[in-house]
Amino acid sequence: MSVRVNYFQMFRKSFELYKKNPIVLLPYIILNCMYFVIQVLPQYGYELFFWALLPVFVVFSILVGCGLLGMFYEATRKRTDMNTFWKTIRKRALSYVGASILLSLVVVGGFILIIIMGVVLGMVSSLVALLFIILGFVYIFLSLFFLSFYMYGVVVDKKSAAESLALSYRIVRKNVWEVLKFYLFILLLSLFLISPPLIILAIISVFFKNLTQWLLAIFMIYSTLISPLFSFFTMLFYLRIRST
């Protein structure tokens, strides 16, 4: 039986947890600073450094995501700190990275297989090829939808890479409509929190083009500040549907 979730109450709870645990913002700041440094390198002629640091940034981003989940989970029970961040990375990073790779193989591998079948059968009919292309994109959507909580299985439930994907599938399958409502709420919340400041900054940039870089920096700071709110919200939702 699927659960019922009060999303507005859960959002208020997310805000309360954020206020009690502002330390969760620190890894976001570190990650965004690193991103800023890397993305400006080509502008100053350091393309070689850009391509050398890009893989490092991708791996670092994955590890930060793993550590942050540990902090968000702990914050639902007590105040968290950076020790939890590093401890989660030490204990769960291998499974976390493995699950991410496995998800990529499931999604991309399945898509490629469907497209290959479409190309082969498409020799008979172009309509068949088109149907398989559509089927491929439907497969990607369904895979990401049903396996979208795999990382919580790794960190919260201490599952292995394969077990975390299987757990995510079982949880979402039991709560399909509630998960759909969750993503709809996230979409509406994003529009409410992100669209107004983005529109305002875009209008300002039209009249003050010399301020474009500063306005982008302001928006980046704002996005960083509200990101933990969404993460707390998702963690609370997972803990709620996980109980089914």
SS (H, E, C) the chain: CCCCCCHHHHHHHHHHHHHHCHHHHHHHHHHHHHHHHHHHCHHHCCHHHHHHHHHHHHHHHHHHHHHHHHHHHHHCCCCCCHHHHHHHHHHHHHHHHHHHHHHHHHHHHHHHHHHHHHHHHHCCCHHHHHHHHHHHHHHHHHHHHHCCCHHHHHHCCCCCHHHHHHHHHHHHHHCHHHHHHHHHHHHHHHHHHHHHHHHHHHHHHHHCHHHHHHHHHHHHHHHHHHHHHHHHHHHHHHHHHHCC
pLDDT at 124: 64
Share of the chain above pLDDT 90, in %: 53
pLDDT of 31 reads 87
Q: Assess if residue 8 is contained within a domain.
A: no
Domain count, the chain: 1
Label residue 97 by pLDDT band (50, 70, 90): very high
Highest averaged pLDDT of the listed ranges 121-125, 127-131, 164-168: 164-168
Q: Is residue 1 part of a domain?
A: no
pLDDT, position 120: 67
Q: Is pLDDT above 70 for 103?
A: yes
- At residue 24, the pLDDT reads 96
One-letter amino acid identity for 199? I
pLDDT at 122: 63
Q: What mean pLDDT do residues 116-129 have? A: 68
Q: Specify if 102 maps to a domain.
A: yes
Mind listing the pLDDT tens digit for each residue in 180-219? 999 999 999 988 888 887 788 778 777 777 777 777 778 7
What pLDDT score does 34 carry?
A: 83
pLDDT at residue 79, as a whole number: 95
pLDDT score at 198: 79
CA distance 125 to 133: 13
Q: Is residue 75 part of a domain?
A: yes
User: How far are the Cα atoms of 104, 128, 145, 201 from residue 175, in angstroms, in the given order?
Assistant: 23, 33, 12, 38
The single-letter code of the amino acid at 85 is F
| Predicted confidence (pLDDT) per residue in 61-83, tens digit | 999 999 999 999 999 999 999 99
Domain containing 43 equals: 15-242
